[in-house]
Structure 1
Amino acid sequence: MKEQTATTGVLNDLIAIHNDRIAGYQKALKELKAEDSDLERLFTGMISESQDIRETLAAEVRAAGGDVESGTTASGKIYRAWMDVKAAFSGNDRKAVLSNCEAGEDAAQNAYKSALKEDGLPSYLREVLTSQMQSLRASHDEVKALRDAA
């Protein structure tokens, strides 16, 4: 029972990160300029990616008898507020938006690294989380490459 509670806690932490990621990309979409339609497609895809991952994680939490996290993290709220301040000074330029998104992607990678270090996580969940982390890494690398090109 204790391991099950720990596992649902880890999964709920990742769900909160995906809630942050969704909110962050929704915010980024609002900051885009008309000429950044390529980023609109990218960010919309990343929102869908997090929604799918979140649902997979939520199904595991429900299967373990836990309640699914519906909020975001405190650090995510602080980060989005910081994005507002930074955007006011940077004028929402492409590079600034992508830099903010990359920082969010870094946070997601760190959350997964931390989750995978947890003892007692069932091996099948380790495989699921490792696969999700790899998918998110590809998204990170795409954002980073676009930022570097800006």
Structure 2
Amino acid sequence: MVKDAVEGTWVNRVGFTQGQVVLEIGWDEDVDDALRENVETVVGSPLEEDQFDGVVDAVLLWWRDGDGDLIDDCVDALTTLADKGFLVVMVPQAGHPDHVEAAEIEEAAQTVGLKASSTAKAGAWIATKLVQGGTQKQR
């Protein structure tokens, strides 16, 4: 896939751009490899695996109902995220048994000091961009 083919897609709408380092968390056999390739095409490099310990510009977090604690995964994502970095939470679309409601994503984001800034349909997934600067709640 050439870069022009993904211009104007969900990848660009949530803020991925050329040259970013992107960490991927939550990969499993159900993820859409074409969506992963879209991100890699736009940023110009492979996604980093969850063992990566450098600073990243963005985190791609695949999340499903039953995956554990979204708040904990958001906190983990923040440990390597650059000051102006962002997190994109990918959840299965409504109607899928593992779908996660937007309210749950927003609550987790607010708890860790992030805020939802945009959402885009991405194949059978929904991408929600979380940016730094939300109000952190006491846990």
TM-score, length of structure 1 as denominator length: 0.28
The one of the two structures with greater contact order (alpha-carbon pairs below 8 A, sep at least 6) is: 1
**Which is richer in helix?**
1
